[in-house]
Every structure is written in C-alpha cells, then in structure tokens.
Amino acid sequence: MADVIENIFEELSAPELMSKKNEIEKEIRDLLQGLEGQEGVGMNGSLVDSERFPRNDIDLYAVRSSRQKVIRLRNDHKAVMKEIENKLHQLHAEFKVKKLSQSDTQKATMDPNRNREILLEKTFARISMVARGSPADQAELKNGDLVLDFGSVNISNFTDVSDIGKVVQHSEGARVSVQVLRGSDRVGLSLEPKRWS
C-alpha cells in the first residue's frame, strides 16, 4: 500500500507536494481536534469505561474512524515528506552539476571578478565568528571567509553543518585541509581539531 501511495506522490511537482503536505497536516489537525472534542479521548484515550463496557459519552464509531484516518494520513504524510526529500536531492544534484560544468580552461581565461564569481558558486558555508584561541583562530580562519573545502567536505557532498562536525570529530589531533575564499583570493589553511575552552 505504501508503495502505491509513494508512486502517486512521485508524479507531483515540488510545489504540488508542498501543497499536499500542508493539506494533509491540516486534515490531521482537524481530526485530532475532533478527537479531543470527544471528551478528550484523543488518539490513545480508552474507549471503555471502568467496568470495561464501551463508553456511552462518546461516539465510538466516529472516534475509531477518525483514529484510522489519522493513522492513514500520517502514513501519507511520511510518503509525501520522503518524496519532497527526493525532489530536493534531485534539485540540489542538478544545481551542483550545473555549477560544476564549466571547464578549467574557461576559468583560467576569465577576469578576476568572474573567477571570484565562479569560486563563490562553489562555497557552501560562511565563517560568521572565530573565537579567540580556538582551533579555527589558530588556523587563521577569519570572519567572513567563505568555505570552499573543509577536509573531504565540499559543495558536491555538503548537506548540512553536521558534515563538518563529523570531519572535526574524526580528525581530532590530525590536520584538516581547509580552502576558503577570502575577498577574491583562494586561501589554503590547515586546521587541527582539538578540544579547547
């Protein structure tokens, strides 16, 4: 069943998927509010009284039906979110290929401003603060530096800041090569991740 649902969502564009996600979330919220309106029974409240008989103060059919719909919608939501994630990965991959498609000979013949623009396209993070005495300070990283490479992490494989954290964690006590764009210059640095206070 989940495969059928995912195939249905596969056909939708990214904006359509976002719209579908919002629609599902609203429907789930409405159903949960309705369940809370049934004497606060919600998704987990008991449907029997203290004597183990069906409760007579709630509409049992409506509660069970709403609970089933919420479960189904949560599964749909998970499938939509997975498809949104796939579309985002697809878009990012296409964007990266597009950015990296220029040849080195074209880069070499361009003026410095254009060269900076090309390098800017390959940056994936900006250094916003360097604490005095930190490994970043000792490596001479500066506020405003744009990161091109951090160890094995670059624009083609960067997903989030945790990627840099993993490199730091696995390289504690060793040197990590860092390439930054500072102004219009590409600067190579060597950072030694270590604990500091």
Confidence of residue 104 (pLDDT cuts 50, 70, 90): very low
Confidence of residue 4 (pLDDT cuts 50, 70, 90): very low
Kindly state the tokens that stand for 190. Answer: 């060597």
pLDDT over 90 at 94, yes or no: no
* DSSP, residue by residue, 51-76: TSSBPSSS-HHHHHHHHHHHHHHHHH
pLDDT over 80 at 101, yes or no: no
